[in-house]
Structure 1
Amino acid sequence: MTDTIDVLLATYNGARHLDAQLQSLLEQTHQDFRVLVSDDGSSDGTQALLQGWRAHFGGRLVLLDNPAPGRGVARNFEFLLQASLQDGIAGCMAFCDQDDVWLPDKLAVLLQALRRLQADVGEHQPCLVHCDLAVVDGQLAPLHPSFARHQRYDPAHCSDTTLLSINQVTGCAMLVSRTLACQALPLPPEAVMHDWWCALLAAGGARRFVDHPLVLYRQHGANQLGAKGRGLGSRVLRLLRDGPAVVRRVRALGQATTAQALALQARLRREGRPTGWVQDYLDWRARRLWWRLAGGRRHYPGPVLDRVSRLLLW
């Protein structure tokens, strides 16, 4: 595997925080990388800002022409994956959000972890490694030292089956192998998000967690996805504030995860990979409530309130 990494940066009206992210890329200890950028139709000067940074990267900041802007973040990252695979330079890819900050050893640590994983399971397996994140506010002041613990996740022990119900792999914290990227494309319409889809395709032991925060995960009003508290108090408060909307979101997630699981099953069959674990999950989801109670913890070992809401509303 080549050591070259393609950093895939999807931008949209990110001028406010983009300087800090680009500077953090320049400060990486592993310097064998390119930054492929695709903008989704910004109107705040993001594209001009990117042009101004090109000289700092010495040709390693590549601004791509998004052929269909306005389709959203998942399709933007899909386009970047396609672009990376087409020229065949990079051996692995890292998704990059415009408003975060990477710690200097992020790429080096994840590349080393990916090499170890590939040595264990085989270089041609679809592999993925990911790290923890430190949650910070809009000015990078600390909010929580661990995104995983803040969300009450356990990524190191998250089973493939559990991952079908809830994503515990954050896109900006992952590094994916070229093989995984090939199997992930094209992104099906049923994929809830690009990072979740990639995490599911790394099933069968080809996914590994680095229990160390290597990203400053910035929380602000314009976040695509934020780090909401998952404690009982936070959940109850949201339910009291806007109960009907919460119920609608849970129901919608139930429908989306079923559709995504069916799409995953089809993709695994295309690649000649085992699908029994996905079928077991779909069978469990199709059972009546009382039968689903028996396997609830195995299929979704999350907080009690989450388990109850999924059993009742999915």
Structure 2
Amino acid sequence: MDVLLATYNGSKYLHAQLDSLLAQTHQNFRVLVSDDGSSDATLEILENYRARFEGRLVVVPNPHSGQGVVRNFENLMVASLQDGQAGWVAFSDQDDVWLPQKIERCLNEMVRMEEEGGEGLPCLVHTDLTVVDESLNVISDSFARYQRMDPRQCSPLSLLSVNQVTGCTMMVNRTLLQMALPLPRETIMHDWWCGLVSGSGRRRFVPAPLILYRQHGANQVGAKDRSLKTRLLRLLTNGAGIVGRVRVLGGATYLQAQALQLRLRAVGLDGGYVSEYLAWRGRPFWVRMVGYRQYYVGPELDRISRCLLWFK
């Protein structure tokens, strides 16, 4: 299998992540690295670790350098698929720390899923995380609870609006990789797109937190305190900005769902639930208020705000 590690000016935390990969109980993997044009010591660190990985660390040339995290991960996905050695890939951020059994437990779950009838289908395994601060002090022992979400209850339909598949915990099989590529320009994040593609196959959530999810102020996505008190305070201090971001995300999710519909048609799979979702998004507000909970998961404040602010 391949671990896909996307880097960009990550020298402050990269040592810890590479050390955690070397400490995995399952060691039959390669690390493919794509760098997005780092100006710090990231590439030097990677070179210093090359010998410790005994040929299993490969820096992949990045023709899309400087184009951001989505294209950086896409470069790795393409490299792994074209190389043809790996049956599965796991996505890795540069600033986290993987617990020793992370790969082993995800791979065991993936093999079990494929043996149960998932072989030939796009399959995805993802896990919970422990949220930690910059110095790895625990903020919350469960990212899912911290974000007030339940990935076990997430359906292909609700995933069109709310991503509950955290990329740095994710392992996917080769079939999913083939279906996901190329990433359409409407892709919001690579992990969300892979989660959507898994709706045509199998997805399984492992509730164990197998990653220390480091929060340091420069995270691409990150974990935010979603308590009602904190969220109301954010709304009072930056209401216009929050409303603007919600509206933008609404438009982006609609376009991403359209892209999924086209991809499913292209590979000959049923996209009926996507068509249902797109039609529902175009209905009047009072119609969408009936049964909106099957489309919008998460805290009720989030659900209501989507109904109010999301249109086509």
5 Å-filtered alignment, 1:76-225, equals 76-204=72-200, 206-225=202-221
Task: Name the CA distance, whole Å, in 2 between partners of 1:37 and 1:31.
Answer: 17
Asked if the contact 2:2–2:89 (Cα under 8 Å) also holds between the matched residues in 1, the reply is yes
The question of whether the paired residues in 1 share the 8 Å contact of 2:122 and 2:200 is answered with: no
Tell me, yes or no, if the aligned pair for 1:121 and 1:206 is still in contact at 8 Å: no
Deviating more after overlay: 13-22 vs 272-281: 272-281
Question: What is aligned with 1:30?
Answer: 26
Question: Shift of residue 49 of structure 1?
Answer: 1.1
Whether 2:29 is the aligned partner of 1:18: answer no
Report the Cα distance in structure 1 between the residues aligned to 2:129 and 2:114, rounded to whole angstroms: 23
Which stretch of structure 1 is more off in the superposition, 294-303 or 12-21? Answer: 294-303
What corresponds to 2:264 in structure 1? 268
- Deviation for aligned residue 1:301: 2.8
CA shift for structure 1 position 143: 0.5
Q: Does 1:297 align with 2:290?
A: no
Letter in 1 for 2:251: Q
Partners of 1:190 and 1:263 within 8 A in 2: yes
Q: Deviations over 1:216-261 (max 9, x none)?
A: 0000011111101222222211111100100000000100000000
User: In 2, distance between residues paired with 1:132 and 1:86?
Assistant: 30
Shift of 1:205: 5.2
Query: CA offset at residue 295 of structure 1?
Result: 2.1
**Matched residue SS, 2:291:** helix
How far the C-alpha of 1:104 sits from its partner, in A, is 0.4
Deviation, 1:121, is: 2.9
Aligned position for 2:62: 66
**SS of aligned partner of 2:216:** coil
Which string of whole-angstrom CA distances, capped at 9 and with x for unpartnered residues, describes residues 248-292 of structure 1? Answer: 000001000000000000001111111110011111100000000
Task: List per-residue Cα deviations over 1:54-88 (Å, max 9, x = no partner).
Answer: 01100000011111200100100000000001111
Is residue 309 from structure 1 mapped to residue 310 from structure 2 by the alignment? Answer: no
Determine if contact 1:131/1:210 at 8 Å carries over to the other structure. yes
1:250 aligns with 2:277: no
Show structure 1 runs of 4+ deviating over 6 A: none
CA contact (8 A) 1:284 1:295 kept: no
Which residue does 1:51 correspond to in 2? 47
TM-score relative to the length of structure 1: 0.97
Structure 1 counterpart SS, 2:277: helix
TM superposition score normalised by structure 2: 0.98
CA contact (8 A) 2:81 2:178 kept: yes
Query: Offset at 1:129?
Result: 0.4
Alignment length (residue pairs): 310
| 3-state DSSP of counterpart to 1:176 | strand
The 1:77/1:91 distance shift into structure 2, 3 A limit, reads same
Q: What is the aligned partner in structure 2 of residue 286 from structure 1?
A: 282
**Worse-matched range after superposition: 172-181 or 197-206:** 197-206
CA distance in 1, matches of 2:229, 2:173: 39
* Structure 1 counterpart SS, 2:3: strand
Query: Which ranges of structure 2 fall in alignment gaps of 5 or more residues?
Result: none
- Amino-acid identity (%): 61
- Cross-structure match for 1:240: 236
Cα contact 2:118–2:202 (8 A) shared by 1: no
Conserved? CA contact 2:123–2:175, under 8 Å: yes
